[in-house]
């Protein structure tokens, strides 16, 4: 039941994380290059710059998403007393 109640919170947290990660990436890219980040849809781009932009964007997005997910789960658990997920990782 806790997982079902957590779904709307997770959706909102994901949207906020996406917005925050875009802002953080734009700020980080501004330190790397004064031009806008390259995209695969552009015809004439430096592929090294494209791969660098993708790596930085991926790292920022993943870090913000994981932090957002974890802390929204902690807030849910503090409020309801139930952790919405697994307590520990599976043992391999």
pLDDT digits (tens, 9 = 90+) for 1-45: 778 899 999 999 999 999 999 999 999 999 999 999 998 888 888
Closest to 20 in 3D by CA, of 78, 80, 79, 62: 62
More confident residue, 2 or 69: 69
Tokens encoding 89: 């990782």
In angstroms, the CA 65 to CA 60 distance is: 8
* Dihedral Cα 16, 19, 25, 28, nearest 10 deg: -80
Cβ(40)–Cβ(53) below 8 Å: no
- In percent, the amount of the chain with pLDDT more than 70 equals 100
């Amino acid at each position: 039941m806790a997982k079902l109640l957590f779904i709307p919170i997770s959706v909102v947290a994901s949207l906020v994380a996406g917005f925050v990660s875009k802002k953080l990436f734009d700020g980080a890219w501004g330190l790397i290059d004064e031009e806008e980040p390259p995209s695969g849809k552009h015809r004439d781009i430096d592929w090294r710059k494209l791969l660098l932009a993708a790596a930085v964007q991926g790292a920022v997005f993943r870090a913000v998403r994981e932090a957002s997910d974890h802390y929204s789960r902690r807030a849910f658990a503090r409020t309801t007393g139930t952790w919405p997920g697994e307590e520990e990782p599976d043992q391999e």
